[in-house]
A = this chain, B = another copy of it.
Amino acid sequence: MDKSTRDALQNAKFEDTYIHTDGMPWTPFSDGIEIKVLRTSQESGTWTTLFRCAKGSSFARHEHLGAGEYLMLSGKMEVRGGVEKGGITAYPGDYGYEPNGMIHDSTCFPESSVFYFTNYGPIRFMDDEDKTIFVLDWKAVAKIGADSAASARAAE
């Protein structure tokens, strides 16, 4: 068997993912924040997305039950209060890895921003006493993605 045939047989066992993200609609996620769901993994609980955050928007208080990894594409993001309060202020081209277990009281966007984001597990949104409000896991993210795709098809 020649190399090309051999490789094709091997690769046919696996399903790749390829997304032209410019063709996807932005879907509402939370107040002022939209999402494009690129991948969710049932097995590992990992999910990868694009987030677009309006000027002045923010993610509510949460705890990472899986590490977060991001690449800023545009705008400005203040993590854990931003650099002035001991946290991080991320600009386009900046990369970050927030370890599993981190608590983010508020992640703010002083400018309209887009970033690419992978989370390696769930995120637990919680109140000021650390009580659970909502657990955002791969199932919840996958549902947002599926609902968005269904709406896009219905609109065609």
Chain A contact residues, CB within 8 Å of chain B: 3-4, 6-8, 10-11, 13-22, 38-39, 41-45, 48, 65-67, 69, 71, 80, 86, 88, 90-91, 93-103, 105, 116, 118, 120-122, 124, 128, 130, 132, 135, 137-139
When C-beta atoms are compared, the residue in chain B nearest to A14 turns out to be B99
A26 and B103 alpha carbons, distance in the complex (Å): 31
| Chain B residues with CB under 8 A of A41 | 43
Tell whether, in the assembled complex, residue B10 and residue A96 are in contact, meaning their CB atoms are under 8 Å apart: no
| Copies, count | 4
Contacts of A121 in B (CB 8 A): 45, 65-66, 121-122
Task: Give 25 A-B contacts (CB < 8 Å), ordered by A residue.
Answer: A3-B128, A4-B105, A8-B86, A13-B42, A13-B101, A14-B99, A14-B100, A16-B88, A18-B96, A19-B94, A19-B95, A19-B96, A21-B95, A38-B97, A39-B69, A39-B97, A44-B44, A44-B120, A45-B100, A48-B69, A69-B118, A121-B122, A122-B122, A132-B135, A135-B135
